Chains A and B, each alone.
Chain A
């Protein structure tokens, strides 16, 4: 199977601090990973596409200086929420693209961020 591990599963931080979320593909290499944000009872909203060794591609309306993405290796992408504010509180989910005959994406378990 294909396993994507996301850490931490939940985090509480104070306003103004930064939080880093890790997304790891455990048993496959992922040149492309994705970061989503999900509000309660809503669908997943794509924030950015993370490409190994290059800059992330952000969706319209997503502040790249607010949500820093680093994809330094084929198995790890990180999302850093900088200077977090209560409105950044949300459920953040990553997915990793597994290439092959049929490309598929596998999701991490999500990170619940609460900014107080």
Chain B
């Protein structure tokens, strides 16, 4: 089955700095890679995703890159703000069947004002 590794487990940055979270996956059949933001006591919210037919996707301050050959993908947050503080999960899944993502273990991002 799929195995998703996520690093770092904790990331502390100053407001305005950039934050990068990296994930690797094992199953070459995976072709959909969503990123979720989970605030304390709430469910995960999809913030950005990327499919295997593209290498990069950007949405304002958030971007995701995908390297299929190396089987890794990364989340980039620029100009971080205190409200970006949350736990971020990467996931990998193969579309075509039921959407059952394999999640990384999460990264706790702390943005200091």
Contacts and interface: CB of A to CB of B under 8 A. Distances in A.
Do A and B come from the same complex?
yes
Interface residues of B, number: 22
B56 to A, nearest CB: 17
Interface in B70-113: 89, 95, 98-101, 103-106, 108
Given A42-B105, A43-B106, A103 B45 contact: no
Contacts of A109: 42-43
Interface residues on A, range: 20 to 34
B29 interface: no
Contacts of B89: 43-44
Contact of A110 (B42, B99, B106): B42
Contacts of B108: 41
B77 to A, nearest CB: 20
A97 B108 CA distance: 26
Contacts of A105: 99, 101
B104 A43 contact: yes
A106 B99 CA distance: 10
B51 interface: yes
Given A49-B98, A97-B99, A105-B99, A42 B106 contact: yes
Given A49-B98, A102-B51, A103-B95, A43 B42 contact: no
5 contacts: A44-B103, A46-B100, A49-B100, A102-B32, A110-B42
Interface of A: 4, 6, 32, 34, 41-44, 46, 49, 91, 93, 97, 102-110, 112
Q: Which 9 A-B pairs have the closest CB atoms?
A: A107-B43, A110-B43, A105-B99, A109-B43, A43-B103, A97-B99, A107-B44, A43-B105, A93-B43
Interface of B: 32, 34, 36, 41-46, 49, 51, 89, 95, 98-101, 103-106, 108
